[in-house]
Each structure stands twice: as structure tokens, then as C-alpha cells.
Amino acid sequence: MALINLLFFPGFTFLFMCALFFEWLDRRIIARFQERVGPPWFQPLADFIKLLAKEDIVPSGAHAKAAALLPMFSLTAVLTAGLYVPVGNVVTASFEGDLIVVLFLLSLPALGYFLAGWTSVGVYSLIGGHRSLLQYFSYEVPFLMAVASPAILSGSWRIASIAAYQSQTTWGALMQPLGFILAIIGLIGKLKRDPLDIPKAKSEVVAGSLTDFSGRKIALWHLSIYIQTVVGIFLLVNLFLGGSSHQSLFVALPIFGLKALGILILLSMISVLYARLRIDQLANLGWRVLAPLALIQLLVTIWSGG
């Protein structure tokens, strides 16, 4: 049973299918907002297969081994994180403190993205890598404090226990709306989505750290970002929307899926409505606004007897 959970549901196969579906739906929603048609349902899979078939080029002077290992490193991190995040009423692995492990694993792709730029030879890659690191320091602290509040309130650092606590009381998004907003902003920063796509701004640095990647490597990078999107959304559903603890999987899974789609639609709307920030604007926003608000949120939670 554990092997089935690991390989199929809610393991790799399920996360892979959700990643393709979420990418298609995200692109479709954004297209509708911009009065476009958007891609067909099979486009994400076709793009992935096409990239796997393309020639893999390593620029002269780039670190070939690092270029090959970094996308696999990032993909492994997000897949491992997905093992500890409940989907409906099913979770592959769970223990007290698994929230800390998931947060650590979800932060590793940012390190891999920075190293991808640092080990490349292009100027755009180097700039994108440094932007990624600066952006990481701007959003990560508020994000960590925001997601810590539901854990303190429930008295547990186990994701399944936090979701179960909220299913018996009130959703974290209603009890801690500020924390939910800060967590959404932090997730946008992690995924490098508009308006926080600063490290890979096409009009400025082409593709940032990934400018010199091609073929299978860029396919794995994209897959790791898509799966990170899925795992991040699933995490917020459990921490702020009560997950879904219904005994029947056929009831719990649709409820959980609707909540996840709600967050995805919110992310798509934000991508359309807001323009990209400059890196200095993000740094000011992160340390002068988001971090103090997250600290206030955390102190209020502790003071209220969480």
C-alpha cells in the first residue's frame, strides 16, 4: 500500500497529472482575462514531451555536471515535500513536525535556481540567480511566520493535525486572514509568478538562471516548478482552508480539489491584475511591510493562547 501511495496516489503520478492540469488551467484563466482563447488541454504535456526530445546544449565554460544535477535536485525536493502534504484524507507519510520538513524542502528549489545562474556563463543567468536570492530573502521570512501561525494555534506542527483542528473549529483563513494573505504572497514569490517573476523577467533577463538550459534539463526545471505549484497550493489548503477530513475519499477528494482550484484561480487573477515589481520595491515591501505584519500576526496568535 505504501508503494502504491508513493508511485500513484498521492505520489508522483498524481502530482505529475495535477501539475499538467494546473498549468493548463492557469494558462487558460489568464488567457480569458486577456481576451485570448488559451491553449488546448494537452498543451502542457505536448510541451514537456517536446522539450525532452530537443537537443541538450551546454554552453562552453558552463559547469556541465551542476547543470545536469540541479534540476534533478529541485525536482527531488518538491516531490519529497509532496509526500508529507495530505490530499483529501490521504497522506503518504506523516509525523509530528512534518510541516518544518516540508517548508525546508520547498525552499531548496530557490537555492537550486540561484546555483543554476551562478554556475552558468551568461550575464542574464548570473543576474537572474542573484535576483532569485534577493527575492528569497524578501518573501521567505514573512512566509514562514505566516504558516507558523496555524501550527501555533492548533498546538501541532503536523500538517494533518492542523487541518483536522480547523475542520473541527474554523478555517485558518477566517481566523487569521492576514496570515493567509501573507502566505499567498510568499507562495507567489516561491513560484516566481507575476508580479514577483523578477528573477526570470523575460523583458529584462530573458529566462534568468534558466537562460542557458535546454532540452531535458529545462523540461525538468519546468516540471519541478509545476509540481512545486501543486504542493504549495495543497499545503495552503491544509493550513488555512481546513483540508478535507471526510472519511470517504470520494467525498474528501472533490472538496479538497475545489479548495485547491480556488487558490489557483486567485493566483491566476493576481498574475493578471498586478504588474511586476522591481527588485528594490520587493525588498522594501518584504522587510518594511510584510515582515512586520507577519510578526504582528505571529505575536497576536501567541498572545491569544495558540
- Give 56-73 as a DSSP string: ----TTS-HHHHHHHHHH
pLDDT in tens, 224-263: 999 999 999 999 999 999 998 788 888 999 999 999 999 9
- The CA–CA distances, whole Å, from 245 to 5, 89, 259, 306 equal 18, 5, 13, 22
Give the model's pLDDT for residue 1.
Answer: 64
Examine residue 183 and state whether it is found in any structural domain, yes or no: yes
Examine residue 60 and state whether it is found in any structural domain, yes or no: no
Examine residue 246 and state whether it is found in any structural domain, yes or no: yes
CB atoms within 10 A of CB 7: 12
Q: How far apart are CA 250 and CA 153, in angstroms?
A: 29
Give the model's pLDDT for residue 10.
Answer: 83
CA 118 centroid distance within chain: 22
pLDDT in tens, 56-99: 888 887 888 888 999 999 999 999 999 999 998 898 999 999 99
Is the separation of the CB atoms in 212 and 200 below 8 Å?
A: no
Give the model's pLDDT for residue 204.
Answer: 86
Nine cell digits for residue 148: 507558523
Residue 274 DSSP one-character state: S
Q: How far apart are CA 291 and CA 150, in angstroms?
A: 17
Is the separation of the CB atoms in 128 and 112 below 8 Å?
A: no
Q: Cα 286–273–181 angle (5° rounding)?
A: 40
Mean pLDDT of all residues belonging to the chain: 92
Examine residue 209 and state whether it is found in any structural domain, yes or no: yes
Examine residue 24 and state whether it is found in any structural domain, yes or no: no
Q: Cα 75–80–86 angle (5° rounding)?
A: 125
Examine residue 298 and state whether it is found in any structural domain, yes or no: yes
Look at the chain and report how many structural domains it folds into: 1
Q: How far apart are CA 78 and CA 80, in angstroms?
A: 5
Give the model's pLDDT for residue 305.
Answer: 64
Q: Residue 275 — φ and ψ, nearest 5°?
A: -80, 160
Contacts for 241 with CB less than 8 Å, ≥ 6 apart:
166, 171, 172, 173, 259, 262, 263
Examine residue 245 and state whether it is found in any structural domain, yes or no: yes
Examine residue 253 and state whether it is found in any structural domain, yes or no: yes
Q: What is the pTM of this model?
A: 0.95
Average pLDDT (260-283) is 94
**What residue numbers bound the domain in which 88 lies?**
66-303
Cis peptide before 195 (omega within 30 of 0): yes
